[in-house]
Structure 1
Amino acid sequence: MGKLDLITIVIIAANVIISYKGFNDYAFFEKYKFNVGGIQRGEKIRFFSAGFLHVDMQHLLFNMVTLYFFAGRVIYEIGVIGFLMLYIVSLLIGNLLSLYFHKNEYHYSAVGASGAVMGVIYSAILFDPWGKINFFIPGFVFGIGYLLYSIYGMKKRIGNIGHDAHFGGAIGGYLITLLLSPWLFETNLIMIVLLALPIALLFALKKLGKI
């Protein structure tokens, strides 16, 4: 973890440039952020563009530093093209899940690369479930715990955080990783099942009307 590949540099640069433009241009920020009303009016570009905008420098820095620490392992395992596919799909699924949960909230808005970054984290965890996060927490424990917290956050509307986008990003990372690396079913089947449990729980709760 922590290897700075060219594709990682390109993605970080795109986030910095576009976010900086948004910091200084309110009209630009409003035009390209994720917004339910805008998407329902046909502005589908928001699904993608919102993933390169951030609220402030702290938000941007947190996402980019996290990406830096996890991207290298994923690129090593699935290559540059696979990584780019995973990043984009995670970003889009994150925002699609946000739309799914907020489709009746016309003014709901969100920005940030968090969904895409969470997809990268979940992918890295699949490849190295026992790898330590924050020096002592095994990756799979963090992944499961974070998604369970996201479910709780979605239910209780905790903070100004797009919990659903984070969760959707993790789903994207999970699916693309297994699609591109099916050998994981032979080596890490138990972990694959464990990491799927929060995803199954979310949709079960949604079907039951509990969230």
Structure 2
Amino acid sequence: MSVTLILIAANVVISLAALFAIPQLFNKGMMIPYRVVRENTWYELISSGFIHAGIGHLFLNMFVLFFFGMVLERSIGQGHFFTLYFSGLIVSSLPSLYRHKDNPEFATVGASGAVESVLFGFILLFPLDPIYIMFIPIGIPAIIFGVLFLVYSVWASKREGRVNHEAHIAGAIWGFLYLIVFVPNTIDHFLSVFGLI
């Protein structure tokens, strides 16, 4: 069975349970850096990625994971895809963990960091494939979308808000790095798309 579909099912079941059935699951599963470093609740780097702030948050992450995850999983194999996703969860949590380790008020949830790892893994392998965004009638080449997304995320991370843009940036960078370091021939494939080799 597809790893992507298993991850989506796990996210949906755990998130809905935390939101509507077992509120203590939400509180125990979210990542609170202050708690992680003082109580050694390191599991939160993973558990927080299976809990979402609401239905819209869950839907958006799973929508992106479905469309880009299915393709990437077939391209790099289930083992690499599984490892990319879970390592993306951990790596994307590290900036928030470091920045907010002394702030007892900060908490974060959501699979966004891992999903960005998947999305940017896709962008690296298929840089010229079009990505469509609501209200824009034409496809944007994936590589251009990726650059615009990162520029926006860096800008937005400097403003206060509820979205964890640091996790998006770290997850995106990890998506590139994981494929370059661990998936054979990634650089050659990328260059060949542009006719450079």
Length, aligned pairs only? 186
- Aligned alpha-carbon RMSD (Å): 1.7
Q: Does 1:28 align with 2:25?
A: yes
Name the CA distance, whole Å, in 2 between partners of 1:186 and 1:9: 29
Name the CA distance, whole Å, in 2 between partners of 1:122 and 1:101: 24
Structure 1 SS opposite 2:163:
coil
Q: Does 1:156 align with 2:156?
A: no
2:177 aligns with 175
Q: Does 1:144 align with 2:147?
A: yes
Alignment of 1:172-211 (within 5 A): 172-189=174-191
Where does structure 2 lack aligned partners over 5 or more consecutive residues?
A: 133-137
Structure 2 SS opposite 1:188:
helix
Name the CA distance, whole Å, in 1 between partners of 2:102 and 2:176: 28
Letter in 2 for 1:186: D
Q: Does 1:92 align with 2:90?
A: yes
Deviation at 1:101, TM superposition (A): 2.6
Determine if contact 1:78/1:180 at 8 Å carries over to the other structure: no
Deviation at 1:189, TM superposition (A): 4.8
Name the CA distance, whole Å, in 2 between partners of 1:14 and 1:154: 29
Tell me whether 13-22 or 134-143 shows the greater mean CA deviation.
134-143
Structure 1 SS opposite 2:77:
helix
Letter in 2 for 1:153: A
Determine if contact 1:93/1:171 at 8 Å carries over to the other structure: no
Name the CA distance, whole Å, in 1 between partners of 2:114 and 2:48: 11
Name the CA distance, whole Å, in 2 between partners of 1:160 and 1:11: 24
Name the CA distance, whole Å, in 2 between partners of 1:186 and 1:153: 33
Name the CA distance, whole Å, in 1 between partners of 2:154 and 2:108: 17
Percent identity for Structure 1 against Structure 2: 34
TM-score with structure 2 setting the length: 0.88
Name the CA distance, whole Å, in 1 between partners of 2:84 and 2:170: 12
Tell me whether 87-96 or 177-186 shows the greater mean CA deviation.
177-186
Among 39, 48, 51, which residue is 2:49 paired with?
Answer: 51
